[in-house]
């Protein structure tokens, strides 16, 4: 294995608890197909919308596009859209006839793969396959020991990527923080992209703050890939693109970025991020209508540029606490909103993404745990292809916590086990094991062949979470959850290396102003 990649090899964490023999049994690595949870397991068991509700939301979204339309398209976008059949009104708004939307939906890419630099981390966005990962633009790093929020840096972004590389239940790494130590905006875009790529070989998501920055960042991508041809064959970075400013307006510069990225072969996340009760309607159903309408406009836009270009239907509406107007990303309403959006992705059979796992809590505490769990469980059970912001995000996206990222890997393991569901097969319902135990046997299933055979393949165990008895816990000097998370974080960072070939890294650092070690 290449020296640069060895430091990126996922580490198998030491797991606590249980008898020595059982710990040894669990220590043996499993083939990916035998693991109890893994990326891309199908969800879809939970459907908060009825079939009639889906149809009503779809019809209302088409009405919104035809009657209200979107304002503020850039000149290039106006030409692209009207050339495809959209109508520019005297009020400057672009409206979308139903037939145009239906035609572009027929052309839209389905069953896409988001590639990773390491093919074992490829994300196959088909049907209701579920993947969890990061996202966000936090401006602070949370220190759960000092209880302080400090400015996030390029080094923090790189370190978080290195953690993600070694967390099995975090399947992709989209930019989590803003590099606030990088003053120049172009340098910030470069450092954001390169910090992510240096830390992980999983699929990366990034954004560009100005259309003029795209070309230089693609030079960097081609260098990492080896050539432009290699990049186009397996584009391992997607563009998180807020192409709309809700309600129902295009974001001109982001649209120009999107046009360029689509032409350069980069998958695009069409991100509509209204806030219910503020920039989106307060009713959950109508907030979904607006998000669907805006993303359908994005589908038309992308496919008018390049039919079949890979795009993710990013209905990403947030919730407001209507008492204050503040965002409430960890609420039950947010969980329902995300699940409803996921169901609409399935309605169109389009690859989709939305937010889950955000917490309003300022620290990795009990509130953070319940908010992350409920929103991630509903997202997974609804069959959301790409669950963004699933770990590490605090204070409604203002803060990112490394320790919370590590703890979140345990949460996602339990969430994925819920997504997998119950395997009902002739073997799993056979009475042979019951007869062996009950009819002259030991009267329990501990140590039985069946139990031992299912220890790794049917059950998942927390890495940081503590399942000791009170007596064992006291004898172990009462370890605290946060202390265990800090220890695992430090253990990973101590051995996680750079995922870029040293010669390529040297060439990139010679050309670009890289701010992290």
CA 408, CA 97: separation in Å to the nearest integer? 44
3-class DSSP state of 132: strand
| Rounded average pLDDT over 479-483 | 96
315 has a pLDDT exceeding 90: yes
Residue 378 lies inside a defined structural domain of this protein: yes
3-class DSSP state of 143: strand
Q: Strand pairing partners for 387?
A: 132, 354
Going by pLDDT thresholds of 50, 70 and 90, the confidence category of residue 128 is very high
Residue 302 lies inside a defined structural domain of this protein: yes
pLDDT number for residue 325 = 86
26 has a pLDDT exceeding 60: no
pTM for this one? 0.93
471 has a pLDDT exceeding 90: yes
4 has a pLDDT exceeding 80: no
Residue 201 lies inside a defined structural domain of this protein: yes
209 has a pLDDT exceeding 50: yes
pLDDT number for residue 34 = 82
| Rounded average pLDDT over 406-422 | 97
The DSSP secondary structure of 260-275, one letter per residue, reads: HHHHTT--EEEEE--E
How do residues 239-290 score in pLDDT, each as one tens digit? 999 999 999 999 999 999 999 999 999 999 999 999 999 999 999 999 999 9
pLDDT number for residue 2 = 47
CA 75, 76, 79, 81 torsion-angle sign: negative
Going by pLDDT thresholds of 50, 70 and 90, the confidence category of residue 453 is confident
11 has a pLDDT exceeding 50: no
3-class DSSP state of 8: coil
CA 225, CA 336: separation in Å to the nearest integer? 39
Residue 494 CA to its chain's centroid (Å): 25
Residue 287 lies inside a defined structural domain of this protein: yes
Going by pLDDT thresholds of 50, 70 and 90, the confidence category of residue 129 is very high
Sheet holding 326-327, edge to edge: 275-276, 318-321, 326-327
DSSP collapsed to 3 states, 323-375: CCCEECCCCHHHHHHHHHHHHHHHHHCCCEEEECCCCCCCCCCHHHHHHHHHH
The contacts of residue 8 (CB under 8 Å, 6+ apart) are 118, 165, 200, 201, 496, 497, 498, 499
The closest of 158, 148, 198 to 179, measured between CA atoms, is 158
3-class DSSP state of 195: helix
Structural domain of 161:
131-421
Measured between alpha carbons, how far is residue 494 from residues 7, 61, 474 in Å? 10, 50, 29
3 has a pLDDT exceeding 80: no
The contacts of residue 266 (CB under 8 Å, 6+ apart) are 235, 237, 238, 239
CA 478, CA 470: separation in Å to the nearest integer? 9
The count of domains in the chain is 1
CA 57, CA 73: separation in Å to the nearest integer? 25
| Rounded average pLDDT over 194-204 | 98
Residue 432 lies inside a defined structural domain of this protein: no
Q: Quick check: 250 and 75 in contact, CB under 8 A?
A: no
| Rounded average pLDDT over 121-128 | 97
12 has a pLDDT exceeding 60: no
Q: Within a 13 Å sphere around the CA of 462, how many CA atoms are in the beta-carbon half? A: 15
3-class DSSP state of 112: strand
CA 7, CA 199: separation in Å to the nearest integer? 9
How do residues 418-444 score in pLDDT, each as one tens digit? 999 999 999 999 999 999 999 999 999
Q: Strand pairing partners for 131?
A: 386
Output the domain CATH number for residue 172. 3.20.20.480
How do residues 365-395 score in pLDDT, each as one tens digit? 999 999 999 999 999 999 999 999 999 999 9
| Rounded average pLDDT over 338-362 | 97
Q: Within a 13 Å sphere around the CA of 61, how many CA atoms are in the beta-carbon half? A: 25
Question: Where would I find the H helices in 46-112?
Answer: 51-67, 75-84, 98-107
Question: How are the residues of the chain apportioned to helix, strand and coil, as percentages rounded to the nearest 5?
Answer: 45, 15, 40
| Rounded average pLDDT over 132-146 | 97
Going by pLDDT thresholds of 50, 70 and 90, the confidence category of residue 20 is low
Residue 334 lies inside a defined structural domain of this protein: yes
How do residues 63-116 score in pLDDT, each as one tens digit? 999 999 999 999 999 999 999 999 999 999 999 999 999 999 999 999 999 999
Taken as a whole, the chain contains a residue count of: 517
Residue 210 lies inside a defined structural domain of this protein: yes
Residue 247 lies inside a defined structural domain of this protein: yes
Q: Strand pairing partners for 112?
A: 125
């Amino acid at each position: 294995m290449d020296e640069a990649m060895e430091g990126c090899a996922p580490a198998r964490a030491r797991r606590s608890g249980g008898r020595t023999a059982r710990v040894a049994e669990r220590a043996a690595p499993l083939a990916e197909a035998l693991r109890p949870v893994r990326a891309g397991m199908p969800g879809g068991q939970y459907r908060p919308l009825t079939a009639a509700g889906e149809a009503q939301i779809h019809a209302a979204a088409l009405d919104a596009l035809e009657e209200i339309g979107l304002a503020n398209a850039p000149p290039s976008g106006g030409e692209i859209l009207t050339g495809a059949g959209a109508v520019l009104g005297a009020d400057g708004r672009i409206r979308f006839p139903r037939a145009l939307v239906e035609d572009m939906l027929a052309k839209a890419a389905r069953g896409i793969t988001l590639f990773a630099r390491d093919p074992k981390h490829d994300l196959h966005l088909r049907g209701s396959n579920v993947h969890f990962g990061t996202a966000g633009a936090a401006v602070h790093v949370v220190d759960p020991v000092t209880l302080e929020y400090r400015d996030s840096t390029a080094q923090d972004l790189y370190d978080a990527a290195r953690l993600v590389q070694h967390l099995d239940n975090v399947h992709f790494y989209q930019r989590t923080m803003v590099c606030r130590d990088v003053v120049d905006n172009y340098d910030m875009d470069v450092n954001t992209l390169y910090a992510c790529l240096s830390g992980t070989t999983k699929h990366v998501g990034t954004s560009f703050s100005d259309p003029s920055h795209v070309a230089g960042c693609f030079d960097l991508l081609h260098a990492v890939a080896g050539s432009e041809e290699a990049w186009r064959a397996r584009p391992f970075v997607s563009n998180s693109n807020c192409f709309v400013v809700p309600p129902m307006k295009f974001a001109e510069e982001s649209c120009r970025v999107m046009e360029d990225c689509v032409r350069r072969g980069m998958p695009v996340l069409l991100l509509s991020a209204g806030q219910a009760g503020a920039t989106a309607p307060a009713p959950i159903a109508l907030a979904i209508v607006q998000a669907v309408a805006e993303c359908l406009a994005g589908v038309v836009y992308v496919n008018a540029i390049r039919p079949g270009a890979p795009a993710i239907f990013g209905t990403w509406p947030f919730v407001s606490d209507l008492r204050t107007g503040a965002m409430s990303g960890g609420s039950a309403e947010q969980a329902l909103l995300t699940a409803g959006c996921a169901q609409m992705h399935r309605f169109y059979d389009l690859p989709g993404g939305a937010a889950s796992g955000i917490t309003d809590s300022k620290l990795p505490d009990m509130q953070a745990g319940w908010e992350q769990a409920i929103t991630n469980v509903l997202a997974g059970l609804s069959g959301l292809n790409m669950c963004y912001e699933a770990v590490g995000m605090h204070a409604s996206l203002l803060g990112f916590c490394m320790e919370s990222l590590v703890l979140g890997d345990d949460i996602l393991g339990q969430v994925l086990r819920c997504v997998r569901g119950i395997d009902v097969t002739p073997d799993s319902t056979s009475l042979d094991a019951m007869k062996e135990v009950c009819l002259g046997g030991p009267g329990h299933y501990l140590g039985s062949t069946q139990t031992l055979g299912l220890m790794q393949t049917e059950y998942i165990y927390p890495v940081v979470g503590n399942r000791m008895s009170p007596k064992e816990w006291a004898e172990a000097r009462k370890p605290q959850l946060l202390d265990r998370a800090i220890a695992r974080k430090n253990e990973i960072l101590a051995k996680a290396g750079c995922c870029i070939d040293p010669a390529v890294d040297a060439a990139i650092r010679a050309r670009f102003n890289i701010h992290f070690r």
